[in-house]
Structure 1
């Protein structure tokens, strides 16, 4: 019975987080009220405060949950079998382009949507963003190092700096895509990425 109750409690919490992520990815943090999230999730308001002490705490946990899933997906992409690391990296940026569009990101563009807004609004949420984005850059840097070592790609400079620059490039492109209502910034970002991370074609 205890296990069942704990499982149900976890399900309710995850449902609130998933619903909030989907709605806030479209509208932002400040524009979304708790009632909208809870009504959509089918959860009474009292249940919200059982899991989250405030909307700010909810936002912090939302970002942590988002990045946990994002990093797991990134790890999976960067460990795909029968591919060079260069191919895996290019696959990652293609997935970014396909999923972070302005049409309907289904919660997948949460960091892009909330970064500028909440960084000045809440220190705990800013730190959650910093930790999450640092995790992405660290993984990209490690992957670039592996790619250079295996001979599938070439770069100029330090892998950490290259990874940081590439992440910032794609983050900026994601914002411009929303401003322009066009995917052209992603095409530009991909061209620059291919110039920075030079894929070495395998010898025939």
Structure 2
């Protein structure tokens, strides 16, 4: 039986971390659960990560940059106008959340709700991710303003932050109520009242 390379083991732990944290939350799983999901011995975990918290920070980064959040590509899709891209982004995200019966949001939102008060390491990583995410939404709004698709002349970066904050609140409410109604209300309000 061939031995896994150190890089392969780390990648498997990252993937298992993303999946396990998404399903069970940070506090709902153990290092053993993660190593079992990765199919590696528990002892190998500490060759790659000093703690479960360190893995969680790395898993967030991996989730964000590995294409797991590939919906973000919609925001730069050249075949749609900027306003259409923005609307399509939130409609696809709504559909994806409905497909999993509102049982969880994305790992970023889940970790924010669970750990931002308890882990400065995770809070710092989440802050970086939210900053970048808001910038991407704001850039799409800026493009829509430049194209004359959005009348608002408000700072697009501030609008991007506000829109993302409102979206995360709608996702949380949809998870509580187990319905897409809060997400549909968000999209409708966004495009009929704020970004018209």
- TM norm. shorter chain > 0.5: yes
User: Which segment is superposed worse, 10-19 or 189-198?
Assistant: 10-19
* Structure 1 SS opposite 2:183: helix
Match of 1:148 in 2: 145
User: Which segment is superposed worse, 178-187 or 98-107?
Assistant: 98-107
Match of 1:184 in 2: 181
1:65 paired residue among 48, 62, 65: 62
Match of 2:28 in 1: 31
Once residues 9 and 163 of structure 1 are traced to their aligned partners in structure 2, the CA distance between those partners, rounded to angstroms, is 40
Do the aligned partners of residues 110 and 81 (structure 1) sit closer, same or farther apart at CA in structure 2, a change above 3 Å counting?
same
Match of 2:135 in 1: 138
Once residues 92 and 35 of structure 1 are traced to their aligned partners in structure 2, the CA distance between those partners, rounded to angstroms, is 36
User: Which segment is superposed worse, 113-122 or 166-175?
Assistant: 113-122
Structure 1 residue ranges without an equivalent (≥5): 199-204
* Structure 2 SS opposite 1:157: coil
1:42 paired residue among 27, 39, 42: 39
Summarize deviations over 1:133-185 as a string: whole Å, max 9, x none: 10000111111111111223332521112111110111001111111111111
Normalised by the size of structure 1, how large is the TM-score? 0.85
Match of 1:166 in 2: 163
Normalised by the size of structure 2, how large is the TM-score? 0.88
Shift of 1:50: 1.1
Contact in 1 for aligned 2:105/2:171 (Cα 8 Å) = no
Once residues 53 and 67 of structure 1 are traced to their aligned partners in structure 2, the CA distance between those partners, rounded to angstroms, is 21
Question: What is the aligned-residue RMSD (CA, Å)?
Answer: 2.3
Once residues 101 and 19 of structure 2 are traced to their aligned partners in structure 1, the CA distance between those partners, rounded to angstroms, is 10
Contact in 1 for aligned 2:170/2:183 (Cα 8 Å) = yes
